[in-house]
């Protein structure tokens, strides 16, 4: 697993490409916001299964494994637990490095429990 911090005004999909260069997963599970042709093409050329539902405006929707897509709920619950820590939810830390360290520490605590 790898983490990347972005400014609040930047879309998360901009970090998807650089994060893919650091990991080698078999599948990527994401919501409809990540349904973009450049990302899907990059995933398919690296032989990574995209488990991303198609947006409504797509002419040809992709078939996805909904049994695998249900695993996204675990990720959503993890972020909900992460946001229960007030220092993380409100980002008290000014520096990117200390905030990232706090997120990693809290993630380890959540993982242990």
pLDDT (tens digit per residue) in 7-46 = 777 787 887 888 888 887 888 888 888 888 888 888 888 8
Q: How far apart are CA 66 and CA 93, in angstroms?
A: 38
Which has the closest alpha carbon to 43: 66, 59, 19, 67?
Answer: 19
Rounded-to-integer distance, Cα 34 and Cα 12, Å? 9
pLDDT digits (tens, 9 = 90+) for 66-82: 888 888 888 889 889 99
**pLDDT score, position 13:** 81
pTM, 2 dp: 0.70
Mean pLDDT calculated for residue range 39-55:
88
Indicate if the pLDDT at residue 3 is higher than 90. Answer: no
- Residue 49 above 80 pLDDT? yes
Is the pLDDT assigned to residue 2 strictly greater than 80? no
């Amino acid at each position: 697993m790898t983490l990347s911090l972005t400014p609040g005004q930047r879309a998360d999909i901009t970090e998807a490409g650089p994060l893919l260069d650091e990991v080698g997963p078999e599948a990527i599970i994401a919501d409809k916001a990540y349904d973009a042709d450049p990302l899907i093409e990059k995933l398919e050329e690296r032989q990574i299964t995209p488990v991303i539902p198609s947006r409504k405006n797509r002419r040809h929707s992709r078939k996805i494994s909904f049994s695998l897509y249900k695993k996204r709920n675990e990720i959503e619950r993890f972020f909900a637990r992460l946001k229960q820590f007030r220092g993380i939810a409100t980002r008290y830390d000014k520096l990117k490095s200390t905030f990232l360290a706090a997120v990693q520490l809290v993630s380890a605590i959540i993982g242990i429990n």
